[in-house]
Amino acid sequence: MCLFCKIVNKEIPANVVLENENFLAFHDINPKAPVHILAIPKLHVDSFNEVTGETMAGMTEFIQGLVKEIKIDASGYRVICNVGEDGGQEVKHLHCHILGGAKLKWEHFSDADPKDFL
C-alpha cells in the first residue's frame, strides 16, 4: 500500500484541510509556498497517465471548492500534477500540488537554455 493510501486509510496522520467521499486534501510536509496543499483521489491511481476523465472532473470540482475554502481563489494559485520520475513525481499516487498565498515565481526554468534539453 502506498503512502497516500495509508493517509486515506488513517494509518498515517496528515494535516487534513478538506475531505469528501472521493477526495482528500492535506498540507504538504515540505511546503514550497505559504500555502502548499496536496489533493488526491481516495481511490489509488498511479499517476495522471492512468486517471479517468470522470475522476479528473471530480478532482477539478474538489480543488475549486478547496481554493474557495482556504480563500486563495481570488488572489490566485498554481495547480501542478507531476508525472513520472522525470516530471518529479515522488509518490506513485496521483496528486496535485496547490500552491498559493504569495506571488509565485517560476525560477526553475528562468535561466534554462532549451538547447540543454535537446
Residue 35: which CATH number? 3.30.428.10
Q: Is 108 a catalytic residue?
A: no
Indicate the number of domains in the chain.
1
Identify whether 12 is part of a domain. yes
Identify whether 116 is part of a domain. no
Q: Is the pLDDT of residue 117 over 70?
A: no
Identify whether 77 is part of a domain. yes
Give pLDDT tens digits for 55-114: 999 999 999 999 999 999 999 999 999 999 999 999 999 999 999 999 988 776 555 566
Q: Is the pLDDT of residue 7 over 70?
A: yes
Domain assignment of residue 39, given as a range: 3-103
CA 51 – CA 44 distance, rounded (Å): 10
Identify whether 112 is part of a domain. no
How is residue 6 written as a grid cell?
495509508
Picking from 74, 58, 1, the residue whose alpha carbon sits closest to that of residue 25 is 58
Give pLDDT tens digits for 15-57: 999 999 999 999 999 999 999 999 999 999 999 999 999 999 9
Of the candidates 93, 95, 97, 108, the residue annotated as catalytic is 95
pLDDT value for 112 = 59
Identify whether 115 is part of a domain. no
CA 98 – CA 25 distance, rounded (Å): 9
pLDDT value for 38 = 98
Identify whether 117 is part of a domain. no
What is the total residue count of the chain?
Answer: 118
